[in-house]
Amino acid sequence: MNLPRPALLPTFLRELTGTQTLPREPEPDAIMVDEAQVAAFSETGRNESTLAASYLFHTARACQAIQGCKRVVDLGCGPANQLIQIAELNPEIDFIGIDMSQEMLRRAREHVASAGISNVSFETGDITQLTQFEDRSIDGVMSTVSLHHLPTLGHLERCFREISRVLKPGGAVYLADFGRLKSLKSVIFFAYMNQDRDPHQLLLDYERSLRAAFLLSDFERLVSECLPESVKIYNTFKVPLLILLKTEDKSLPRAKVDALNAMRKTLNPRFRHDLDDMRIFFKLGGLKNDIFS
């Protein structure tokens, strides 16, 4: 595993020693409806980009959380790039993607059809009102980098209470999102650090997402108040750029472990380094059971 890139050090030190001065700025549109914006996000995610490292990290961690589930709901699934990768590795699980954007779901259905996947379906819905699901009817709930789209902290609380309502006793949870940084300089650094390889629209979306992120303390309070006791919180070491809320890992079959490691080996070396950076910072933050060799 490589050491994190030296360019991260100044930002890491600024966040570590600074005080919180950055207010939350909710995204201008809670639902991504602009066709060009949706297309840029969707196609970049499907092609080789910096998102490849993030997708593989979350796929590996989510697989460990939802292993053994029969029915899993993905909240804010978007164009399903992440969901498809997870579903392909877990054909024994039925996945239901929920999103409010019709354009996102149209592309999601196209992507699933082109991938030839039969264990994923989609529903238009509000992730703070999961009225289509009965109490204690879902084996697992996941969401990857979508919660910051919610307009207010009250919406996040309602989302968490709905997760608790629909989840079966002992059910699996894997929720991943950004945490709000202390400094605007840090936001700009992370948002545009890959401007040499990602399209401007993706970089701009990243900046808006970081500005809209909730605080680590917001997640900590709502986890204790709204989610099952089995859900634990983890974040990247000292600086909560990324936050995970998850239930206990389960052992994966050897075939899935081998498949995930094969996917890591096929990554562009630069993206593999990005993946290893995430692994290091989460491991330092207390997240164990890394299945990559």
CA distance 149 to 164: 20
Q: Are 22 and 180 in contact (CB under 8 A)?
A: yes
Task: Tell me the pairing of strands 242-246 and 94-99.
Answer: unpaired
pLDDT at 9 (0 to 100): 87
pLDDT at 50 (0 to 100): 76
CA distance 225 to 196: 42
pLDDT at 196 (0 to 100): 85
The answer to whether residue 285 scores a pLDDT higher than 80 is: yes
The answer to whether residue 2 scores a pLDDT higher than 70 is: no
CA distance 89 to 173: 17
pLDDT at 6 (0 to 100): 76
pLDDT at 43 (0 to 100): 59
Average pLDDT of the chain to the nearest whole number = 92
Task: Tell me the pairing of strands 120-124 and 167-178.
Answer: unpaired
The answer to whether residue 192 scores a pLDDT higher than 70 is: yes
The answer to whether residue 115 scores a pLDDT higher than 50 is: yes
pLDDT at 101 (0 to 100): 94
- Digit-coded pLDDT (tens) for 156-183: 999 999 999 999 999 999 999 999 999 9
- Least confident window among 38-42, 86-90, 109-113: 38-42
To which residue do tokens 């961690």 refer? 61
pLDDT at 95 (0 to 100): 98
The residue ranking higher by pLDDT, 101 or 6, is 101
- Least confident window among 35-44, 121-130, 265-274: 35-44
The answer to whether residue 60 scores a pLDDT higher than 50 is: yes
The answer to whether residue 218 scores a pLDDT higher than 90 is: yes
CA distance 117 to 115: 6
DSSP secondary structure string for all residues of 149-164: GSSSHHHHHHHHHHHH
The answer to whether residue 34 scores a pLDDT higher than 60 is: no
What mean pLDDT do residues 219-231 have?
A: 98
CA distance 32 to 34: 6
Percent of the chain having pLDDT more than 90?
Answer: 83
CA distance 226 to 154: 12
- Least confident window among 35-49, 79-93, 207-221: 35-49
Structural domain boundaries in the chain: 8-284
The answer to whether residue 1 scores a pLDDT higher than 50 is: no
What mean pLDDT do residues 255-265 have?
A: 97
CA distance 249 to 246: 8
The answer to whether residue 48 scores a pLDDT higher than 70 is: no
Query: What CATH number labels 8-284?
Result: 3.40.50.150
pLDDT at 113 (0 to 100): 96
CA distance 20 to 77: 30
The residue ranking higher by pLDDT, 44 or 109, is 109
